[in-house]
A and B are shown apart, each in its own frame.
Chain A
Amino acid sequence: MFEGMVFQDFVFYTFAAILLFAGLRVITARNPVHAALFLVLAFFTAAGIWLLLEAEFLAIVLVLVYVGAVMVLFLFVVMMLDINLDRLREGFWDYLPMAGFIGVLMAAEMVMILGSKNFGVDRVGAPPPKPADYSNTAELGRVLYSDYLLTFELAAVVLLVAIVAAIALTLRDRKDSKFINPADQVKVKRADRVRMVSMPSFKEPPADDAANNTKDQA
């Protein structure tokens, strides 16, 4: 059926085509929500290509972190914006030369580094296929917590600082906020809200009232 074409090649080219198409649509889609969804598709296909490379941990984490969390929040924001597409495209031709220059520069840099001169199959060579019981995840964990422990911890501290900074930026006391402390609500006892009133369940009608009523009817 696929003469001279291994199934993996077929899968790779399919994924690569989808990835390129999705990447292109991210920047050309008119609707920002569509662009974000194409970015999701791009991440997903990239994860598929990584799976072909037997990098299952990276592939799954790409889906877990970028598709499952980052892009969800991204979509969350983009969906709520009322974006005027015409205003967004106003300066397109003004910016084009600068953007084109930067794009060509980046492409040239990537070709210089990743070109076949440095990264060709004859230079690096295909890694030998790993046995079926080889656990990518366990190996990665072992290396991260031994050889690269300091760098890893440093990255963690940088992330922590970023978290603290992000929270500090958004944490402000608004005077018009209707915030209620849930702890106070939880602590509420029945006596704070309800007052028990003891009342007789039946009230005797006054005798003279009853006499008046009968007189009126008569």
Chain B
Amino acid sequence: MMDFFAQLFGSYWPEVSLTAWTLIKIVAIVAPLMGAIAYLTLAERKVIGFMQVRIGPNRVGYFGLLQPIADGLKLFTKEIIIPSASNKFLFLLGPVLAIAPAFAAWAVVPFDLNMVLADIDAALLYILAMTSVGVYGVIIAGWASNSKYAFLGSLRSAAQIVSYEIAMGFALVGVLMAAGSLNLGKIVMAQQGGFWQWYWLPLLPLFLVYFISAVAETNRAPFDVAEGESEIVAGFHVEYSGMAFAVFFLAEYANIILVCMLAALMFLGGWLSPVPFLPDSFLWLLAKVAFLIFFFLWFRATFPRYRYDQIMRLGWKVFIPITLVWIIVIGAMMQTPWAHLFH
């Protein structure tokens, strides 16, 4: 079979096979991701349901297990209404720009030792760049809708994401100082040695700042002023319906899984086993990511929404100084005999 293809493409075979392999790998990442997103919506409704002493969706399939599929079908068959006063091209470009970076960032995420699509050295920078591009989807959607509520939502979102990106970036600076590498695989391998060697302990302030900033970056409760149902209806996606709306949802959940994945890789030892007598495995990574995602759902069920000026104050006056101080602490500690604590 392979020989047949090799003959067919002749001298182009190396390029063609590389492209085909890469495409297969991309599908192998994106397809399970889509499934995870679909079932994350169900998990969210179930978890929040139980936290509010409700049952949650339980009509479609056993325990409501087919609910995401039913939702997807419903959204597929609904009409995408384009407001007549909107800028049509940008209106439709908005959801695309929201979801493309959310998926593109997964290219450099390692799932196990050497199990990564693109093993590039500047992986952390690449992820920061991709997540920062994601804000365009929200901004363009809000502006192109030509609606006051959508526009207010997108302005809030732009200011919020730009602010928290700085705290997030500084938290990552601490990680790369400790690991001495921007490559996510190397960052994980630098945390070898069990539960107490993972970076959550020496970089605890950065871990907390990163995780809370991640909640803000993904526009989730309690930082979801970009949607803010009580004051601006649904914020930037108020004019969207059908699949265009669903794509924003997909992007949001893809981003949640992505930031939890990064937190697990950088602070919780990725696929490394917490105890020496169990082997390292991809399953550990899954468990850690699921554990972190649970916090996102928990936050949503627990905290009331932040007021806008409080969000800005938290980001600029609390988180950024914390990260700066801790970066100095790491740098100073590395020159002392206790440097091994910070690897």
Contact = CB atoms under 8 A, between A and B. Distances in A.
A61 B125 contact: yes
Interface string A48-72: 0000000011001101100111001
A124 interface: no
A61 B125 CA distance: 8
Q: Is the interface of A mostly helix, strand, loop or mixed?
A: helix
A57 B122 contact: yes
Interface in B119-162: 120-122, 125-126, 128-129, 132-133, 135-136, 139-140, 143, 151, 155, 158-159, 161-162
A112 interface: no
Interface in A156-174: none
A138 B181 CA distance: 8
Contact of B143 (A33, A72, A73, A138): A33
Given A57-B125, A61-B125, A135-B121, A67 B143 contact: no
Interface in A131-151: 133, 135-138
Given A60-B129, A79-B143, A69 B165 contact: yes
A76 interface: yes
Q: Is the interface of B mostly helix, strand, loop or mixed?
A: helix
B139 A79 contact: yes
A8 B162 CA distance: 34
A141 B165 CA distance: 22
A182 B309 contact: yes
B129 A72 contact: no
A56 B135 CA distance: 22
Contact of B151 (A68, A79, A135): A79
Interface string A64-107: 10011100110110011000000000000000000000000000
Contacts of A67: 129, 132-133
Nearest to A44: B133
Interface residues of A, number: 26
Contacts of A60: 122, 125-126, 129
B188 interface: no
Given A33-B143, A67-B132, A72-B135, A182 B121 contact: no
Question: Interface centre among A57, A60, A75, by most B CB within 10 Å?
Answer: A60
B72 to A, nearest CB: 30
Interface in B291-343: 309-310, 313
Interface of A: 1, 7, 33, 37, 40, 56-57, 60-61, 63-64, 67-69, 72-73, 75-76, 79-80, 133, 135-138, 182
Query: Would you list the 10 A-B pairs with minimal beta carbon distance, nearest first?
Result: A68-B132, A64-B129, A63-B129, A135-B121, A60-B125, A60-B129, A79-B143, A137-B122, A76-B158, A182-B313
Interface of B: 12, 15, 90, 120-122, 125-126, 128-129, 132-133, 135-136, 139-140, 143, 151, 155, 158-159, 161-162, 165, 182, 309-310, 313
